[in-house]
Structure 1
Amino acid sequence: MEILKPAKAGTLESSDIYITIYPNESEGINIKLESIVMKQFGSQIKRVITKTLEEMGVENADVIAVDKGALDCTIQARVEAAAIRSSK
């Protein structure tokens, strides 16, 4: 799947995550993360985002994530929604 245009998914409500995905000019998946639980779960959140994109076949993307304590399943759903929106 190729990221063609910027897209967003999620909210800034408690227990949610706001994902913005952009086409990436360079190679790979770049993640900029802001989270209220960065020290405890920052690396796990980045793993979930990366794994979800890789499973969808996304090789190049810039992702900005603003997390408000979302569970892994919510993170995955928001990333999937943003990626699908950006590919159409």
Structure 2
Amino acid sequence: MEIKKTAMAGTLESSDIQIMLSQGSNGLEFDLVSDVAKQFGKAIQATITDVLNTYDIHDAKVKVVDKGALDMVVKARAITVVQRALDMADEPDWKVI
């Protein structure tokens, strides 16, 4: 699917994650900022990539600022940002959950 607009989900509060998604042209381009990137960076990226693949998004710029979010929070924020970027927020695709 094609990203219709740049979108953001999440906050910069402790135990949360902020994800910004915008159009890209060279596959998935990640910019991850996290104090725990060395330990959990690949897992964070994999969770977000799984959500993007579910929506058939293969070209996007993904800016991530992690503040210690658990995996379920990462997934929830990723689903939210994708649905906002695809302009589906009013009609969410519940089967992805």
Q: TM-score range by the shorter chain?
A: over 0.9
1:3-82 map, 5 Å: 3-24=3-24, 26-82=25-81
Matched residue pairs, number?
87
The alignment partner of 1:58 has SS state of coil
Q: Which amino acid in the other structure matches residue 6 of structure 2?
A: P
Aligned equivalents of 2:71 and 2:29: distance in 1? 19
Specify every segment of 5 or more residues in structure 1 that has no aligned partner in the other structure, as ranges.
none
Indicate the structure (1 or 2) with the bigger Cα radius of gyration: 2
* TM-score normalised according to structure 2 size: 0.84
- How far has the Cα of 1:78 moved from its partner? 0.6
* TM-score normalised according to structure 1 size: 0.93
Larger RCO (CA within 8 A; separation ≥ 6): 1
Give % identity: 46
